[in-house]
Structure 1
């Protein structure tokens, strides 16, 4: 199935695996957590026949001869260069995503349960197109907060022993400003979901993850900068900007 507006293609995880391996692309991207199927020749043949009929019914070719646009996007996902990996947690099933940008072009894949959506994108928009898979959320309230990483870790340890009270007390004892404490408490103690984004470029991994938390009053992004942790109220545009900054730092 192709989305009429975006042109993205929806596959079952079994269809994805069978077409991917039929194209000789090796193992599927690890972040997509695609289960290997068809361990024996007989079981693979049966699954391939069934998948081919389902693909053909949706004008996507067959396992051995996929439609041109489907083959292209999978080859793009198998490319090297820039790669991004996404994991989102909330009240429903986890969403995992993967994106690449390289000599073959750029593509994004997102999986929930047994369904995977794939699509070609502009190389300069790969981070934004991957993050577009997130559930909508407004930016949290307050100003960005900066805190020494060691003080944050100490406060989290106190939270394990004495909950929010211990977390807040540890920050105050460390001399963290009240406005920064307020942002940290809102971000970390009312969370209902969140996620993280990692990036690699030609084998080099970004030193930290871009993490976000969805709380009662909105979304907050967390990013480590050396020995400091920054917590920033972030809507989708701000989160995308932070992801693009992380990518640029790799190149």
Structure 2
């Protein structure tokens, strides 16, 4: 655990989390009894070689996968005690997701792409429009609100994806290789956006990346090997 990461104010708390796939000789231990605390407002990068367990850890934190053993508390609530529907509600109301692929509807405006999750949350049209417009402004794309993805650069499309994650006002942004499809310049621009959201909005950000220069934007680096946390250290960005 990084210096100063107190368990008492952890928003995300994993204890003894393991995730097994398969049985017998084919069994794979993707996570091996990991302990991890992430405080509200932290920007954490998770790195490691292929097969290290970093994406599995992200999926468990995002309630997209269920651990085989151990406990996961989100904001003091034991996630294992939640039903499948309750976990879906946790994802919908408290978590925002950003992926390597932008996953935008191709013939739909940036504004409508950002509005989509709010439809599933039951927001009215005016409320959706206002929230989506505000989210696009936060990533510097309000002037491109009515452009389709084909009219946007890769970096702009990823900004739309970030705005979509922001629109629901989540407590945590989970970013899985968010710069994986971008060149160095655009990657830096995306990381500047995430860093600003963390600093200005107080958003908790958990990012999986294989790029050390992108991880350097975070305040804390977690290095995983063979399903275990090998190192958990502050970066130069730590307060």
> TM-score normalized by structure 2?
0.26
Q: Which has the larger radius of gyration?
A: 1
> TM-score normalized by structure 1?
0.25
